[in-house]
Amino acid sequence: MSKEFDVIIIGSGPGGYVCAIRAAQLGLKTALIEKYSTLGGTCLNVGCIPSKAWLDSSEKYYELVHNFKDHGINTKGIELDFPKMKERVKAVVSDTCNGVSFLMKKNKVEVFNGVGSFVDEHTISIKGDKEETIKGNNIVIATGSKPASLPGVEIDKKRVISSTEALTLNELPKSMVVIGGGVIGLEMGSVFMRLGCKVSVVEYADSCIPAMDKDMGKNLQKVLKKEGMEFYMGHGVTTVKALKNSVKVTAKAKKDESEVTIDADYCLVAVGRKPFTDGLGLDKAGLELDERGRVGTDEHMRSKKSHIYAIGDVTKGVMLAHKAEEEGMYVAELIAGQKPHIDYNLVPGVVYTWPEVASVGKTEQELKDAKVDFKVGSFPFKASGRARASNESDGLIKVLADKKTDEILGVHMVGPRCADLIAEAVLAMEFRASAEDVARTCHAHPTYTESFKEACLAATENRALHI
């Protein structure tokens, strides 16, 4: 006889495991299905956590080699131990995944290892070491995404790689071509560039991180270019040829159709991700995918079968771990009879390069397109005492506010610790604060957060103090 649960969650990434914890906290009998031997999904195993560990190690190395001398610290004789760096990243991933396993036990979530697929709309088959079926009153699809590629470009996982393979290379490449100047491409490109690899970025759009505010992309590209990253903006890749020990990438400029050929040790394809639904057997539950391969849902994350939900990368919206977490909590609370809320306009986006880039709310272009009357206030980090003291004065913070009400509509920043600074902007916007509300809030001195206050002052009748 099959075990029965109040909630069955397929996929243990940030959306899935957070949904499981919240459901269990609310007294629901909960099952979590994961096909791999470790929990945490892409984020913990081959995404957010290992990439940030690599970024941190490479940042420390770069600072030591290039910038410590400015602080009066002699760093002659520095050596890079790439295998040791990789070992540390692996340990971070292992500890984090073990932490999720502990949380499942603590919250009495029953974990099943194997591939979960629908038998019917209430029954899930799990094929692992053994085959079994379980039944659920409610089912949550949280199977995440996988790296996407370009038409005609095969990711062979040897010389033409995705971010998954880039995180586990056994050698430090001397050169790398990155196809895609978005978040993943620039983060992974930054890692290898900081460690001494020549990195060339090919991007079809005319600016970096094209989905974010244009000023942020310009500032980030300027800094990365100064540090040695090579850019081919407005170029479309035409061919990628993998050789025995290298790769050859050819791209064509949009403007004049001139061609450029780049030879490198590896080609990292970082053109985004696509929903992963292989093997789910959605048809047996009476479900279909939309034109982009996503599970269709309503505003409450319900599929057309009201007891089957989809969250995270497998459904509509931005592909971000924290967005999936919020949806996981939302669905668990909805099933438990509560009335949860998510404001997708207030889901922040972050690029963990150095300087970091962070954004929340509307961009200037979006406000212009919507014909919203707005004002702009900005403040450069070079005018920040804390940033100068830390030798981290690249970048700025930009605040967009309604011209009539002064309500903050968007905040965009590039600079030191922006991944953390953006939380202050999110919180202010959650409470519908005006620029003057923030401007009149006392900030400790000297701190990076003062720059957000100054940007709000600049948006409030151009009242910035320190510039």
Map out the domains of the chain with their CATH numbers: 3-147+274-344 (3.50.50.60), 160-271 (3.50.50.60), 355-459 (3.30.390.30)
Whole-model pTM: value is 0.95
Each residue's pLDDT tens digit in the chain (467 positions)?
Answer: 689 999 999 999 999 999 999 999 999 999 999 999 999 999 999 999 999 999 999 999 999 999 999 999 998 889 999 999 999 999 999 999 999 999 999 999 999 999 999 999 999 999 988 899 999 999 999 999 999 999 999 999 999 999 999 999 999 999 999 999 999 999 999 999 999 999 999 999 999 999 999 999 999 999 999 999 999 999 999 999 999 999 999 999 998 989 999 999 999 999 999 999 999 999 999 999 999 999 999 999 999 999 999 999 999 999 999 999 999 999 999 999 999 999 999 999 999 999 999 999 999 999 999 999 999 999 999 999 999 999 999 999 999 999 999 999 999 999 999 999 999 999 999 999 999 999 999 999 999 999 999 999 999 989 999 99
Classify residue 67 by its DSSP letter. I
DSSP 270-331: -S-EEE--TT--GGGGT--B-TTSPBP--TTSB-SSTTEEE-GGGSSS---HHHHHHHHHHH
Q: Are 412 and 213 in contact (CB under 8 A)?
A: yes
Annotated catalytic residue within 66, 71, 445, 466: 445
DSSP 336-385: TT------GGG--EEE-SSSEEEEEE--HHHHHHTT--EEEEEEEGGG-H
Is the alpha carbon torsion for 334, 340, 12, 145 positive or negative? positive
* Residues contacting 461, CB < 8 A, separation 6+: none
Number of neighbouring beta carbons within 10 Å of residue 128: 15
Q: Are 392 and 428 in contact (CB under 8 A)?
A: no
Strand 235-242 relative to strand 247-253, pairing? antiparallel
For the stretch 137-148, what's the b/e string if a residue is b when 16 or more beta carbons lie within 10 angstroms of its beta carbon?
ebbbbbbbbebe
Which backbone phi and psi does 345 adopt, to 5 degrees? -65, -20
Tell which residue, 42, 78, 47, has the closest CA to residue 60: 78
Instruction: Determine the Cα–Cα distance for residues 15 and 36; give it in Å rounded to an integer.
Output: 16
Residue with tokens 């649960």: 5
- Catalytic residue list contains 466: no
